[in-house]
Structure 1
Amino acid sequence: MNKSSGKTTGSAEQLLPELTREIFLADSYHTALGETLRILAGQMKPVYAECRSKLAKSSVWIILHNYRSNSGLTEAESLIGLSGNGSEFFKPSLEVIDEVWIADQSFTDDETLPESLRQQNRILSICLQVAFGSGRNDLIRLFYTDETKKLSDLKRHLQKLLPQLKRLLQKKYDVKEIRNSEQRYRTLFTEDLNPSFIASPIGIIKECNQAFMTLFGFKSKKAALESNFNDRFTNYMHQVFFWESLQQKEQINNHEMPASRVDGENVYTILKATGSYDQDSNLTEIVGYIQDITDRKKVEDALRKSEERYRSLIETTNDWIWEIDENFHFTYSSLKIQTILGYELNNVLGSSILDLTPAHQREEVEEEFTELAIRQEAFVGVEQYFEDSDGNIAIFETSGIPLFTNNGIFKGYRGISKDITERKKTERQIARMNDELENKVIERTKMLRIANKELEAFSYSVSHDLRAPLRSIDGFSQALIEDYGDTLDSTATNYLNRVRSAAQRMSTLIDDMIKLAKVSRTELSKKRINLSDIAESISNSLIEMNPDRDTEVIIQPNMYVMGDENLMKVVLQNLLENAWKFTSKEETTRIEVGSKNVDDEIVYFVRDNGAGFDMNYAKKLFTPFQRLHKETDFPGTGIGLSTVQRIIHRHLGKIWAEGEPGEGAEFCFTMRTSPNQSID
């Protein structure tokens, strides 16, 4: 601190350049005061000089620096650690009147002054006081031991210097504050979790923080600083808004702007930006702050799409969606109310659900909803009656769930009502038709029973009335042959034999027709039967009647079904006799009875190696009286397979045949019952 200005004479205004330099080079206000005292004392040559300060709300003046003509500037030990000794600069108050005066202190009792000074007979001082708006006052005193014109000149010079000195301190304060502000701003800018940037007037990024680099995917600070604002915010309309706002000196606050990362991924942001301008209103710099709202926008977009789907579902469904509060007043209604009941939506909202209920049911409905509100439970499929705008009654099937606030307080119901008016009408019609049908069934059953009785009577008539003439024809023809055979020529005998044969065939045909009729009328007696045993019994009988035939019969064992045993005997009797008949011309008779699985269904079959048939005529096989072979080759009435088909149909099965001429035939049938199920 022991510096010398080297100046001994001249005006105090000549000190301004040096004061300016030292004040602005000082690292604290405390140092600046010391340098000011040193320069003034070096110029004005006092025997002693000091600088004191009085802080706000204090009456004590503290010595900061002192100056002795023989030792130069020193720092008062008493101030170390007190306010004013750090880097804080106190802003001078230009509103407070600062003073320069001459004081006579010959009889002072101030013990802080040097002893050699207090022993002088005459002590004069020039005082210079600087006041601050904070309440601080700084006082510089220059002491002299003789009174000369010099003091008046010095006072005058200091009075001229004081305003300029205070402006220097003001500028020093402003510069220091700017530096502190810049440092604080840079710290906040760098450490801010939100992306921030500084850009040139054409959008070149001049500075950015780590959050900015992370948001846009820059791999290095260099890459970020070489980019342009317009490269990230590419939407043209938003760009126009951004630049026009800044050119018009308008601050951009919370403006949503879509942006893109370096890798092309879209992000959504909220931008705040402000511009700096020169004296000609030209934009010089842009400072921007960005809030990344990508996640929020995704949630909002998902919510919007969900709401659109929900609203689309509500408005396109044929059902009426509604919400009511705890007092049963509508707070929401879908537009279906207009098409279903004919009410305008605005007239429904705020009204009570009871207003749409027929008058004679309102009390009952109110009790039901009151009970629901107490229980606060969901309800499903409740039939409700509503009155439309024309006074017609519509029937709805209604379901609802209770609604609650975030605090769990019941606030009403949300429900869906399906118009079932037409369905209820249809149900009533069906019920009426069912009643009518049931009556018809009873009547038809009665008629069927009568018809069956008539059929039985007819069958008896056929059996009795037709059989007697046939027996007579056959009997008298036989008597003629036996009694007059010797007198008849061969032609007459042949005619009589043909008459007998026709009468016998007619009798057999009548028997088969009666059997076919009985098959249709016989009541099914259902039980578990073994088809294998029945087939074996029938085949053994056929072999016993024709022991000379070379026969091979293969029967699959344990084929069980649920059916009528007597009728199934008729089925196998006809099928096996057919097989036996049509294999009669083969050297070896081969018949197989078994089952196979076709498309997860059990198919039973009777297969032979007989005459076979042409598949083009397969449909005729099961038609009564239809034959595919000549009577002379294979005699029969054509009733047997028709009887088999009718029995299988009564067991809810189906029957068909496959074959080739000369290659044998296979008759297959199914039954809609398993061994553990009933037949019908």
Structure 2
Amino acid sequence: MDWVEVLSPVFEELIENFPVGVLIVTLEGDILKANRIVLEFTGYTEEEIKGLNVTKLYKNPADRELFLRGLLEKGMVRDFEAEFLSKDGRPFWALLDSRLVSVGDKRLIITVARDITQQKKAEEKLRRILEDLPVGVLITAKDGKVLYANPFLAELLGGDIKRLENLRVTQLYGSKKDRKRFTKELLEKGEVRNFELRLKDEGERWVSVNATLEKIGDEELIITTVEDITQRKLFQKELLRLVEERTRELAESESRYRQMVENPLVGVYLADERGVFLFINRRLSEMSGYEPEEVIGKKTMLEVIAPEYREWLARRLMERKAGRLGPDVVEAELLKKDGTRFWALTAAAEYRDAEGNIKGYLGVVVDITEKKVAERRVLELLEDLRSFSHSISHDLKAPLRALQSYAEAVLEDYGEDLPEGALELVQRISGTAQKMAKLIEDILTYTRITGSKPELKRIELKEVLSEILSYFGEEIRSSGAKVEVKEPLPPVLADETLLRLVLLNLISNALKYRHPERRPEIEVKAESNDWVTFWIKDNGIGIDGEFQERIFRMFERLHGEESYPGTGAGLAIAKRAAERMGGSIGVASEPGKGSSFWIKLRRGEGNIEGGSG
């Protein structure tokens, strides 16, 4: 007997208009009936889905086997989650409630399906958030069984998540006393805040626990966050120890004081009012190569500083005595015992008697030789960059100009006589030479930006933009582009040449990457507070999200030379120029919907020497 003959028209209508998916299949999986909700899930028509085997809808066929096993064992399945595939291959999640029924001589499966795709996405998003949190997250049943633990907690406890899931939360406590106190507070208040305890079997590992008793459905769960406070505890312990130690030291002799200053990572010295050393610590001894007895009472501060700094230091000591100079920090070269030098960051302050007379100096010394070496290396690299630019300019541009001139001469003098293939080849040589020349010019521009020191001053953005738009006037007219400038455009603190480069490249891009099916539209506007953010928005072809960082790299191109000619250096130049002015640049874009490039610069309130590195 056909199932339609068994079901009444009223039942048929009820199934069709049910607010969730209803599916009737044979035990073998052949679909007999699917209501409109199921058709919306899957993308199939009623004719296509009828007779289709339901296994084809499962993304993982093993889920179908698991479903059937449970159905045959109990005659029903509740809350079965599985991932399915629509007709076009789009995955979606559904929650199934099914029952095995007999209709005549047939055994059928009647399933109610709910789309839980968004729920699954939310769960996955929550899972990623929980897994990325820099604190431990623990979800337990009321009896203490661990239901979920994030990776941070597993790492904190020195094990893997699987091991944690087999534990009861009470096994983590360091003592029964802690467990009882925690449980009592949770049951009485429904929450526990800043509960500090030492973990069991983890040595000196301390955590701060916050827990809440939450009722979710019919089940009570304990949601707990665990923060590692071991360092804080150790710091408190160390701080307490230091306070006690320093308190004792205050009552001890000068020898105890000296023992204290032998430990710093920086050099420490004492000198009398004439600059003669009274004390140097072990670190300063290591830096200079002198044993303490070789300098104490025998050498002055002037003798250990490089000769070219001595007059300057003597003058500063006189200014200190006169009270015209307070404590400060300076860089200077100091002499080692073997005569070699090292760079040091030094700071000194005088100490005075009750009448205000200088009795001596207390100073610290930090070895910054490595920092100075690194600075020197940066300067060398900048010089190499300038040399590279010079080499490109002289060694490559001249031959290219010659090559281009020869090609143009051949075209002019013999173009009509050349065979078609040869003519095309010469034209390609000329075109390639032009592109190469443009590429070299872009490289030179980029290196000049990197190696030069920007001159930041107040610049009227409106005036520079007007000049740039005038420069592109013919291209704007020929393309029919509509350009709208929304005022006001506040002044910015910028280097005029670099700002022109930024605007030139961004306006050029807005005109170049226009959509083939619509008239170009460009909008310029600005937002201002302490910084000025100005936007150049177009309605062009747009940029896919995954490429929006890459486009600011040197020579990154997303389109072929035939579609959109260029070297791929323009946005890299714009980015570097913005950064050299202490600003930033970025883009918000969607494919087919245009792009909005933004540049952020300081508001033009005054002039500044130099810019960002």
TM-score by length of 1: 0.38
Which structure is higher in RCO with an 8 Å CA cutoff and minimum separation 6? 2
Higher Rg:
1
TM-score by length of 2: 0.41
